[in-house]
Structure 1
Amino acid sequence: MAGEGAESPHQQQSDGLHVVIAGAGMGGLTCAIACRQANPPLAVTILESAPEIMPIGAGIHLPPNATRVMSHLGLLDRLKEAGGYSLQNFVLRRWANGDVIVAKPIGDRVKKEYGEEWLTIHRGDYQMVLLKEARRSGARVVLDSQVIGIEACPNESSGQQTVLLKNGQRIGADVVIGADGRSMPPVETGDLAYRGTFTREQLQSFKNARIDKLIEESNISVWLGPGAHAVFYPLRNKTEFNLVLLCADDLPEGVRTSNGSLEEMAANFEGWDPVLSMIISCLKTALKWKLLHFKELDKWTKGPVALLGDASHPTLPYQGQGAAMAVEDGAILALLLAGLQKGGLTSTSEDKHAQLTSTFQLYEKLRKKRTETNVAGAVRTRQFYHLHDGEEQVDRDRELSELPSSKWQSGCKWNWGDAPYQKSLLGFDVLDDAENRFQEFFNESKRTTNGAAL
Structure 2
Amino acid sequence: MSKQPRIAVIGAGLGGAAAAALLQKSGFTVDVYEQAPGFSRLGAGIHMGPNAMKIFRQIGIEQPLEAMGSHPDYWFSRDQDGEYLSRIALGAHARQEYGAAYITVHRGDLHALQMQAIAPGSVQFSKQLASLEDTGDEVRMTFTDGSVASADIIVGADGINSQVREHLLGFEAPTYSGWVGHRALIPGHKLKAFDLDFEACVKWWSADRHLMVYYTTGKRDEYYFVSGVPQAEWEGGAASFIDSSQAEMYEAFKGYHPTVQALVASAETITKWPLLNRQPLPLWSRGRMVLLGDACHPMKPHMAQGAAMAIEDGAMLARCLEATGLGDYPTAFGLYEANRRERASQVQAVSNANTWLRTQEDPAWVFGYDLYGQDLKTESAA
Partner Cα distance (1:264, 1:138) in 2: 44
Partner Cα distance (1:138, 1:52) in 2: 15
Partner Cα distance (2:211, 2:93) in 1: 25
Task: Find the partner of 2:47 among 61, 65, 73.
Answer: 61
Q: Is the contact between residue 32 and residue 46 of structure 1 (CA under 8 Å) also seen in structure 2?
A: yes
1:109 pairs with 2:50: no
Alignment correspondent of 1:180:
158
Alignment correspondent of 1:287:
271
Partner Cα distance (1:152, 1:332) in 2: 24
1:246 pairs with 2:228: yes
Partner Cα distance (1:221, 1:174) in 2: 45
Cα offsets for 1:297-318 (capped at 9, x unmatched) = 1101001111110000001111
Partner Cα distance (1:102, 1:133) in 2: 37
Distance 1:320 1:139, change over 3 A: farther
Mapping for residues 289-328 of structure 1, pairs under 5 Å: 289-328=273-312
Partner Cα distance (2:341, 2:53) in 1: 21
Alignment correspondent of 1:75:
61
Mapping for residues 246-265 of structure 1, pairs under 5 Å: 246-252=228-234, 255=237, 256-265=240-249
Counterpart of 1:297 in 2: which secondary structure? coil
Alignment correspondent of 2:210:
229
Q: Is the contact between residue 147 and residue 164 of structure 1 (CA under 8 Å) also seen in structure 2?
A: yes
The Cα shift of 1:192 comes to: 0.8
Cα offsets for 1:157-191 (capped at 9, x unmatched) = xx221111111111110110000113341122221
Number of residue pairs the alignment of both structures matches: 365
Alignment correspondent of 1:86:
71
Mapping for residues 23-62 of structure 1, pairs under 5 Å: 23-38=11-26, 41-62=27-48
Q: Is the contact between residue 26 and residue 323 of structure 1 (CA under 8 Å) also seen in structure 2?
A: yes
Counterpart of 2:266 in 1: which secondary structure? coil
Q: Tell me, which stretches of 5 or more residues in structure 2 are unaligned?
A: 162-171
Task: Find the partner of 1:161 among 126, 139, 163.
Answer: 139
Q: Is the contact between residue 302 and residue 356 of structure 2 (CA under 8 Å) also seen in structure 1?
A: no
Q: Is the contact between residue 46 and residue 139 of structure 1 (CA under 8 Å) also seen in structure 2?
A: no
**For the pair shown, which has the larger CA radius of gyration, 1 or 2?**
1
- Letter matched to residue 227 of structure 1: D
Alignment correspondent of 1:366:
339
The Cα shift of 1:380 comes to: 2.6
Counterpart of 1:264 in 2: which secondary structure? helix
Partner Cα distance (1:23, 1:383) in 2: 29
The Cα shift of 1:339 comes to: 2.7
Alignment correspondent of 2:364:
423
Q: Is the contact between residue 303 and residue 356 of structure 2 (CA under 8 Å) also seen in structure 1?
A: no
1:437 pairs with 2:372: no
The Cα shift of 1:432 comes to: 3.1
Alignment correspondent of 1:204:
192
Partner Cα distance (2:203, 2:376) in 1: 38
Alignment correspondent of 1:375:
348
Q: Which runs of 4+ in 1 moved over 6 A?
A: none
Q: Normalising by the residue count of structure 1, what TM-score does the alignment of the two structures yield?
A: 0.76
Counterpart of 1:192 in 2: which secondary structure? strand
